[in-house]
RNA sequence: GGAGCUGUGGUGUAGCGGUUAACAUGCCGGCCUGUCACGCCGGAGAUCGAGGGUUCAAAUCCCUUCAGCUUCGCCA
């Protein structure tokens, strides 16, 4: 086999005159009868190679027989193209190779879709032939970007004293959080391993072990329903540090992000990142991961409209709820009545009982509700909302939680319709002071908002039993353009505090010992104060690549039903395998 | 578990009660020495996701089902 001398895009005007060999796939072939052009594609780009019977008749005849996606090696002299045939649309458009020898290394069937960018085919087909899909230049670029990001992470953290350590994939099932993927044990009939949802406890134990700074590009597994930005197995940058506080972690992460976006996108991002507390995020944006690329803030008008004659408002407030509103600037004239009704229907889908609205015009208010409002209430409202002619004000009235939820969604929907979300903007935000616990109505107990190893804020520790819901956590999320890209916390490192935490989420000491005895034991052998954070690499790369789906940045992703169309996993296994694992599949109902 | 959208030659679409199931591209053959979305001529290629029903007649209407996608719940 001829040995490759260059990737296609390593060849340009400066290499003209050299004898070169390139290897790749036939992208297109243009046969002019007496002259054949082939665009040869490798992972770097494409190069036009020319077959002329006067240069080499054998190569010319061979070129007549090649087809799309044949794998060939082409040797010849790199020439400058005649001026009038320069192609400015490709990187190598000023040169071409006059082939005097070609080897066909392999043939190819006609692929089921075009190997080119921007194709419009069923994603199922792309996944079934993922190796062909990944051959497309845009997918090659994404995977190279992903590599670059991971490489920069490793370099940056190594330079900052972090050690890359591995933690088990077969581990113990943990009671809280997402559903575990389970792996039956052959040698322990009836017992199961769980695949990690995150290396959380192990990385904390690495801190106990004294490694001080740890990171891992870790695969994590959660057996929950999929979304465009959620896969059952995904990759996290997991890190943990000893002897640090929030400021240390934020500073380190900000510098790392700046470096990643510089390397990955050539973008300069400003540090430090702004910070908002969870409470402020919920009040102003109705979300704990607000997109701050646009305004459309939520405004509380409970004091103005809470005792109005409009029963929906007064009723909500009487039940302990709130009335809040968003001024959708300019939407009063932009949106038709039909579009406003559409928004109302959407609000109901998100859990609202309805959506009151007011359109402000030059000399009147159009609204189904103004007839219930007194003049001073209307004036107070318009004032508070800074309403002008052309505006649309939409309302949410219900429990605080529901109003945040619904108006938070409506805010995003409005931004979508007004096209306020600009892809080129990069808006980072730290969200801090999350609640430590929240009440779970189904389980009738408090559950950890972040996880059970998160430290309460020091000033809230004394009152955590008295007022669990008001206790704040030393937890933080990093949000980019409304997407949560990372989250972490300072951890509990004292046995007594950890025990209090377990009991707050309703675990008995026996439960705690059985599930986490090893961790509590470890806390008694000199555990340093520590904390960390984890980032969704897939989401991060997705945002950098400007993609809408996490599947586009994972080489071999799963479909919405967590299946792989290429390998057809998951699959049935033999009875013998089941027997070895002491498992029995429940009979299907006839 | 719920809601919505989609499923027609290899691919992408049109057709939405009676068509020879149309178009583009790809594929195959022929011609062509400067193309790069090459061009020109010719050809092959579809039991319309699956099953059932309504009808004289179903790609088209109805029901069921499967798959994919989006989304709510869920995802510490």
The whole-number Å distance from A503's CA to B41's C1' is 83
Nearest to A305 by CA among A401, A364, A392, A393: A393
Closest nucleotide to A551: CA versus each C1':
B69
Residue A56 pLDDT class (50, 70, 90 cuts): very high
Q: How many Å apart are CA A343 and CA A338, to the nearest integer? A: 9
Q: How many Å apart are CA A447 and CA A230, to the nearest integer? A: 23
pLDDT tens digits, A273-316:
999 999 999 999 999 999 999 999 999 999 999 999 999 999 99
The whole-number Å distance from A120's CA to B15's C1' is 21
Closest nucleotide to A122: CA versus each C1':
B68
Closest nucleotide to A35: CA versus each C1':
B33
Closest nucleotide to A114: CA versus each C1':
B11
pLDDT tens digits, A175-195:
788 999 999 999 999 999 999
Closest nucleotide to A125: CA versus each C1':
B68
Q: For B7, which residue's CA is nearest its C1'? A: A122
- Percent of chain A at pLDDT above 70? 99
Ranges assigned E (strand) in A168-249: 182-184, 192-194, 213-221, 233-242
The whole-number Å distance from A264's CA to B68's C1' is 32
The answer, yes or no, to whether residue A213 has pLDDT greater than 90, is yes
pLDDT tens digits, A364-384:
999 999 999 999 999 999 999
Residue A71 pLDDT class (50, 70, 90 cuts): very high
The answer, yes or no, to whether residue A590 has pLDDT greater than 60, is no
Pairing of strands A365-366, A298-300: unpaired
Closest nucleotide to A53: CA versus each C1':
B33
The whole-number Å distance from A201's CA to B24's C1' is 57
Give the single-character DSSP code of A77: E
The whole-number Å distance from A149's CA to B52's C1' is 54
Dihedrals phi, psi of A42, to nearest 5 degrees: -125, -170
A285's enclosing H/E stretch is: helix A278-285
The whole-number Å distance from A349's CA to B17's C1' is 36
pLDDT tens digits, A489-524:
999 999 999 999 999 999 999 999 999 999 999 999
The whole-number Å distance from A129's CA to B68's C1' is 15
Q: What angle do CA A89, A95, A101 make, to 5 degrees?
A: 125
Q: What is the largest CA-CA distance in chain A?
A: 93
Sheet holding A233-242, edge to edge: A163-164, A213-221, A233-242, A530-536, A483-490, A475-480, A428-432, A275-277
pLDDT tens digits, A397-451:
999 999 999 999 999 999 988 888 888 899 999 999 999 999 988 888 999 999 9
Residue A587 pLDDT class (50, 70, 90 cuts): low
Instruction: Please give the pLDDT value at position A1.
Output: 84
A97's enclosing H/E stretch is: strand A95-106
Closest nucleotide to A54: CA versus each C1':
B33
Which token pair is A107? Answer: 């043939």
Residue A338 pLDDT class (50, 70, 90 cuts): confident
Q: For B68, which residue's CA is nearest its C1'? A: A124
Closest nucleotide to A451: CA versus each C1':
B76
Closest nucleotide to A174: CA versus each C1':
B76
Closest nucleotide to A196: CA versus each C1':
B76
Backbone region of residue A290 per phi and psi (left: phi > 0; alpha: psi in -120 to 50; beta: other values): beta
Residues in chain A: 590
Q: For B13, which residue's CA is nearest its C1'? A: A120
Q: How many Å apart are CA A371 and CA A381, to the nearest integer? A: 14
The whole-number Å distance from A127's CA to B11's C1' is 15
Which token pair is A332? Answer: 């009063």
Residue A589 pLDDT class (50, 70, 90 cuts): very low
Cis peptide, bond prior to residue A272, ω within 30 of zero: yes
Find the Cα–Cα–Cα–Cα dihedral A204, A207, A213, A215, rounded to 10°.
-30
Closest nucleotide to A559: CA versus each C1':
B68
The whole-number Å distance from A342's CA to B18's C1' is 40
User: Looking at residues A532-542, what average pLDDT do you find?
Assistant: 97
- Strand B nucleotides, any atom under 7 Å from protein beta carbons: they are 1, 10-13, 25-28, 31-39, 67-76
pTM for this structure? 0.94
Instruction: Please give the pLDDT value at position A423.
Output: 83
Nearest to A294 by CA among A427, A390, A424, A165: A427
The whole-number Å distance from A93's CA to B22's C1' is 39
Q: For B71, which residue's CA is nearest its C1'? A: A227
Residues in contact with A441: Cβ distance below 8 Å, sequence separation at least 6, in sequence order: none
The whole-number Å distance from A31's CA to B30's C1' is 13
The whole-number Å distance from A417's CA to B63's C1' is 37
The whole-number Å distance from A508's CA to B70's C1' is 42
The whole-number Å distance from A228's CA to B72's C1' is 14
pLDDT tens digits, A197-207:
999 999 999 99
The whole-number Å distance from A534's CA to B71's C1' is 27
The whole-number Å distance from A111's CA to B22's C1' is 25
Q: How many Å apart are CA A431 and CA A487, to the nearest integer? A: 9
Closest nucleotide to A226: CA versus each C1':
B75
């Amino acid at each position: 086999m001829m040995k490759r001398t260059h990737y296609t895009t390593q060849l340009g005007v400066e290499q003209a005159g050299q004898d070169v060999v390139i290897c790749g796939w036939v992208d297109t072939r243009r046969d002019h009868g007496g002259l054949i052009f082939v665009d040869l594609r490798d992972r770097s780009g494409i190069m036009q190679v020319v077959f002329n019977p006067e240069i080499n008749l054998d190569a010319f005849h061979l070129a007549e027989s090649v087809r799309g996606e044949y794998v060939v090696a082409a040797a010849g002299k790199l020439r400058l193209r005649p001026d009038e045939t320069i192609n400015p649309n490709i990187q190598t458009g000023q040169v071409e190779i006059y082939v005097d020898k070609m080897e066909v290394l392999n043939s190819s069937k006609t692929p089921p879709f075009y190997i080119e960018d921007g194709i419009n085919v069923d994603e199922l087909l792309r996944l079934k032939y993922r190796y062909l899909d990944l051959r497309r230049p845009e997918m090659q670029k994404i995977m190279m970007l992903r590599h670059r990001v991971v490489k920069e992470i490793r370099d940056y953290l190594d330079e900052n004293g972090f050690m890359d350590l591995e933690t088990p994939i077969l581990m113990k099932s943990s009671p809280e959080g997402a559903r575990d993927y389970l792996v039956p044990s052959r040698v322990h009939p009836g017992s199961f391993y769980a695949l990690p949802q995150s290396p959380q406890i192990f990385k904390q134990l690495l801190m106990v072990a004294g490694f001080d700074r740890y990171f891992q590009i870790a695969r994590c597994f959660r057996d929950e329903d999929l979304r465009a930005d959620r896969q059952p197995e995904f990759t996290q940058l997991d890190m943990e540090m000893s002897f640090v506080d929030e400021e240390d972690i934020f500073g380190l992460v900000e510098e790392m992000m700046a470096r990643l976006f510089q390397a990955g996108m050539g973008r300069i991002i400003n540090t430090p990142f702004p910070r908002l507390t969870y409470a402020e995020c919920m009040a102003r944006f109705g979300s704990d991961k607000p997109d701050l690329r646009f305004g459309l803030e939520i405004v509380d008008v409970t004091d103005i409209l809470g005792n109005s004659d409009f029963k929906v408002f007064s009723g909500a407030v009487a039940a302990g709820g709130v009335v809040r509103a968003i001024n959708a600037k300019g939407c009063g004239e932009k949106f038709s009545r039909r579009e406003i009704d559409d928004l109302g229907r959407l609000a109901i889908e998100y859990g609202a009982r309805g959506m009151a609205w007011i359109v402000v015009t030059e000399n009147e208010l159009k609204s189904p509700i103004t007839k219930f409002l007194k003049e001073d209430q209307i004036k107070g409202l318009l004032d508070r909302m800074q309403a002008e002619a052309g505006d649309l004000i939409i309302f949410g009235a219900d429990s605080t939680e529901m109003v945040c939820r619904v108006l938070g969604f409506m805010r995003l929907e409005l931004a979508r319709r007004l096209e306020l979300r600009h892809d080129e903007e990069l808006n980072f935000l730290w969200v801090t002071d999350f609640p430590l616990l929240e009440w779970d109505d189904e389980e009738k107990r408090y559950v950890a908002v972040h996880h059970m190893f998160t430290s309460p804020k020091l000033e809230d520790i004394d009152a955590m039993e008295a007022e669990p819901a008001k206790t704040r956590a030393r937890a933080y999320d990093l949000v980019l353009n409304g997407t949560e890209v990372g989250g972490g916390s300072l951890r509990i490192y004292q046995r007594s505090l950890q025990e209090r935490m377990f009991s707050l989420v309703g675990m008995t000491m026996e439960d705690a010992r059985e599930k986490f005895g090893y961790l509590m034991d470890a806390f008694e052998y000199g555990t340093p104060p520590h904390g960390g954070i984890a980032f969704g690499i897939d989401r991060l790369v997705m945002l950098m690549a400007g993609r809408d789906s996490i599947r586009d940045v994972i080489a071999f992703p799963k479909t919405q039903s967590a299946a792989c169309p290429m390998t057809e996993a998951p699959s049935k296994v033999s009875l013998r395998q089941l027997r070895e694992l002491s498992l029995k599949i429940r009979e299907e109902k006839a």
